[in-house]
Amino acid sequence: MQYVLACFTTAQKSCGILLNMATTQPNTLRHVTIKRSIIAQMLKTMREFGSHGWEVLVLWLGEIEPSTGRAHVTQAYVPKQKAISNEDGVGYFVDGETLFQLNRDLSETGLRLIAQVHSHPRKAYHSEADDRYAIVTAEGGLSLVVPNFGSAPPNPSSWAVYRLHGREWRELSTRDVGSLFELIDD
């Protein structure tokens, strides 16, 4: 099955430029902390969308300490999106106005885009459409794919995790994922 993902109606390059302004040196991220409760709520949202046969995009937002390479996810943000489900597959559509507003909000609050996370119906992997239409486009950016519409263990080590190198999304090993992400209690 092919997965369909659209950034928005104008050139995908514009989407990348828009959100590059909001990211801060993702290639220097060496450690990302996230509360277990944020992951639990995100997975619940993914299961709710999945109950309709829909994928969903979630953006991890938070703070980055450039001097240490540490990021702290403070919220899982579900942008306004249109579910796509047709004979070619499933996906989602985030329009340009939504991305523009997100960028403005990030600028005003000082929060940064740490990672994009989305669900797949079954296996977790970065599809060709995921590669081509990623919202995170900065070198070193993170993209996580959760299997089974969010019915998955609440740990990134159980998902597919990719990092952008050049123009290529490279999957991280389970060991690398385990050292990159730290789940913390509330």
Q: Would you kindly state where each structural domain of the chain is located, as residue ranges?
A: 4-184
- CA–CA gap between residue 57 and residue 61 (Å, rounded): 13
pLDDT of residue 88: 83
Kindly give the pairing relationship between strand 31-35 and strand 181-184. parallel
Q: Contact 4/81 with Cβ under 8 angstroms?
A: no
Q: Contact 66/112 with Cβ under 8 angstroms?
A: no
Q: Averaged in consecutive runs of 10 residues, what is the pLDDT profile of the chain (186 residues)? A: 31 39 60 98 97 96 94 97 89 92 94 97 93 89 97 97 94 97 96
pLDDT of residue 12: 37
pLDDT of residue 152: 97
As given in the structure block, the two tokens for residue 65 are 């300490």
pLDDT of residue 132: 85
**φ and ψ of 33, to 5 deg:** -105, 145
- CA–CA gap between residue 7 and residue 15 (Å, rounded): 7
Q: Burial code of 9-38, b = ≥16 C-beta within 10 A, e = fewer?
A: eeeeeebbebbbebbbebebbeebebbeeb
Beta bridge partners of 146: 119
**φ and ψ of 130, to 5 deg:** -60, -40
Q: Contact 142/14 with Cβ under 8 angstroms?
A: no
In CATH, what class is 4-184? alpha beta
C-beta neighbour count of 127 within 10 angstroms: 18
Instruction: Count Cα atoms within 13 angstroms, Cβ side, for 171.
Output: 13
pLDDT of residue 98: 94
